[in-house]
Chain A
Amino acid sequence: MANLTGKAKAERTYDAIVIGSGITGGWAAKELTEKGLKVLVLERGPMVKHIEDYPTAQTAPWEVKYPRAKLPDAELKAHYPVQNRTGYALTEYTQHFFVKDDENPYTEDKPFDWIRGYHVGGRSLLWARQSYRHSDLDFEANARQGVGVDWPIRYADIAPWYDYVERFIGVSGQAEGLPQLPDGVFQPPMEMNCVEKAFKASTEGKFGRRVTIGRAAHLTAPTEEQLALGRGKCQYRNMCMRGCPFGAYFSSNSATLVAAERTGNLKIRPNSIATSLIFDEKTQKATGVKILDEATRQEEAFYAGVIFVCASALNSTWLLMNSTSRRFPNGFGNRSDQLGRNVMDHHLNVGAQGLVPGYLDEYYSGRRPNGIYVPRFRNLGDEKSARKDFIRGYGYQGGAARLGWDRDQPGIGAERKAALSQPGPWAFRIGGFGEVLPNPENRVTLNKARTDKYGLPTLTMDAVIRENELAMRKDMQAQAIEMAEAAGFTNVTGFDTGSPLGLGIHEMGTARMGRDPKTSVLNAHNQVWECRNVYVTDGAAMTSSSCVNPSLTYMALTARACAHAVEAKKRGEI
């Protein structure tokens, strides 16, 4: 495109550009607009307006076409071979919030499940809402063990930002006083059911391991601020992934983008695929973002003094890799050669399940969009919890429920129908979420030979879990079996169905923060070392993965980076 000057360029110029509107892009939009900046949010997918664009939010089971709302195999095979790998997320109710794999290709040198939603709000509409803080056990681990590089921050640096984020998004949970899982600003916890309470008593009594209710970003006692945004209390429908018409769980659409919109400083441009950052060799600053307009297929440019890259870990990495210049021939800010390396996720699909004798007169009401949580109990720094076979640790998520009408019941006829019209026996299941170590050989690279329908290069994934994770998985399964059996459950079986990276949908680490520009892409404030007016605040920034769900940390890092950017701008540093 021609270089723009004067008025034409002024109309395309903002104080800040945020790339992506998911869980971190929404936060960047809110923070920067509230601090008075004129902000352009670029979103590659279509608009999703809160409530009005949740077409299945109120759909009854008899209003869907297919059995169990499961899409036909032929359609899954043609359009969703990757998105369907979760086995639970993609249904007739949620289909419109997932990408079509045939239109969004990538290459799996090693199996990698890249689960994506391209639309305003991104995966903040689809996330599992579990919200846990990292602790200093996490922030210090790399340095202590000589793994990867040291985090440039410690818990004290981020703790106030965790407070700030939790207060806004609303996290229900129980304070436990555990050093490895710091307490936060909690709304009232959700309740455990009878069997979960029994499991908690057994596990705490016999193993000395804490069991708590999941800390989940659902409003249980909305604040004035949340009510003013149009959000309400959780209605226990557990239909979250369709979009919540009550605004009860946190998403960009229900909260941060609403707050940003109200400042009058926000412009969202959907259908705008950011393709590269514009770098000015003279000032050594980024001056804007090139996009491909999805509808017109025209390249356009927008300009700003501050750029927040929040496109999700791998897409932010793709954007930086695709932003080459004389200064950055190998990708933007990539003199360290760490861009695309150290892919992490959480490894999962390992644990135990069983049946629970008794409790047949007990049931529950409401569909709790949350489960129980067993915080990490391995390698806490004391002798008792230390393991010789692996470093780091894992937590479990799961719960108990009575089997429903969709259980195996032999025979046919009135007797079977009557049986299925009553709840079945109680069943119990917990699955581990384990920490994945950063390894430079686990990487994604830009594949220029394989382009997508826009002619843009794609990603190639070459990453696997390794010895430490594999050793940890043995313990994850064994301990799950032991705790379930100790609680008196029967037919207890362990499972380990393998864990390709990506399936945790917590991909991270590919533009890590660090203390040294030679070995990291970002500094302690999420600024690209070599171009300080570009901030990367999504999962790409993570230096290690911890074993807890990461979104809360991404949000806290984003809010913290926004405050830094506004101050740095005032001081004329960026």
Chain B
Amino acid sequence: MQTRRDTLLTFGALWTALAIPAAAAAQATPALGWSPKALSADQARRLEVVAELIMPASDTPGAREAGVPAFIDRNLAEWSGAAQRDAVKAGLDRIDADARAAHGQPFLALAPAQQAALLARYDGEARAQRGHFFGVLKDLTTVGYFTSEAGATKAARYDPVPGDYKGCVPLKEIGRVWAL
């Protein structure tokens, strides 16, 4: 299924293929729409792509539409300790360095499949290493998504005041995981 994310990235990759100078490419990068508190603008743009790859738009909104990148940035500033914040910032820089080393391109210029492959590698690393930056990002993305209004009400099922409790209900009548 071609998602909105793929379209955007294909477009981005096309620009890169046309060898637009780096400065022009940066200018062409869409504005964030939010002001990062913990991350640099470049790290924030990478975070937008990473979060959307972790929780992409499908038949329900993706991480970006749900406001997850800004949620993560704010929590890196106000909630994570310095150690975790620094690890994530370094990780978002490492993503770019790894992309350049492997493909000679910045992370944002890679094809979605290349980006996803890179993240899959980090996911493997994170499973073996507590506190790995990608484990932190994946967790914050997942929590940020399912506790966002879009995630809780569209990907999950949200009922603030159930009114009643039924112990055995066919899953098909509920349809989705309960948000709460």
Chain A partners chain B: yes
Task: Indicate if the CB atoms of A361 and B171 lie closer than 8 Å.
Answer: yes
Separation of A190 and B114 alpha carbons in the complex (Å): 52
CB distance from A194 to the nearest CB of B (A): 4
Given known A411-B123, A412-B116, A417-B58, contact A367–B174 (CB-CB < 8 A):
no
Task: Indicate if the CB atoms of A62 and B152 lie closer than 8 Å.
Answer: yes
List A contacts of B55 (CB < 8 A): 417
List B contacts of A368 (CB < 8 A): 165, 167
Interface size of A by CB at 8 A reads: 50
Task: Indicate if the CB atoms of B53 and A192 lie closer than 8 Å.
Answer: no
Interface status of B130 (Cβ within 8 A of chain A): no
User: A403-431 toward B: CB 8 Å interface, digit per residue (1/0)?
Assistant: 01110001111101110111110000000
Task: Indicate if the CB atoms of B120 and A404 lie closer than 8 Å.
Answer: no
Task: Indicate if the CB atoms of B58 and A366 lie closer than 8 Å.
Answer: no
Interface status of A1 (Cβ within 8 A of chain B): no
Pick the contact of B165: A58, A361, A364 (CB < 8 A). Answer: A364
Pick the contact of A366: B74, B166, B170 (CB < 8 A). Answer: B166
User: B114-152 toward A: CB 8 Å interface, digit per residue (1/0)?
Assistant: 001001100100010000000000111011101111001
Which residues between 146 and 168 of chain B lie within 8 Å of chain A, taking CB atoms? Answer: 146-149, 152, 155-156, 159-168
Interface stretch (choices A37-45, A63-71, A563-571): A63-71
**Nearest CB in chain A to that of B75: its residue:** A67
List B contacts of A410 (CB < 8 A): 123, 127
Separation of A193 and B174 alpha carbons in the complex (Å): 15
Separation of A421 and B148 alpha carbons in the complex (Å): 14
**Nearest CB in chain A to that of B163: its residue:** A235
List B contacts of A64 (CB < 8 A): 147
User: A332-369 toward B: CB 8 Å interface, digit per residue (1/0)?
Assistant: 00000000000000000000000000001111111110
Given known A412-B120, A423-B177, contact A67–B143 (CB-CB < 8 A):
yes
Pick the contact of A235: B56, B138, B161, B177 (CB < 8 A). Answer: B161
14 more CB-based (< 8 A) A-B contacts, given A402-B177, A423-B171: A61-B147, A62-B147, A64-B147, A67-B79, A191-B168, A193-B167, A193-B168, A194-B168, A235-B163, A365-B166, A365-B174, A405-B155, A406-B143, A421-B155
B→A interface (CB under 8 Å): 1, 3, 53-56, 58, 60, 74-75, 78-81, 116, 119-120, 123, 127, 138-140, 142-144, 146-149, 152, 155-156, 159-174, 176-180
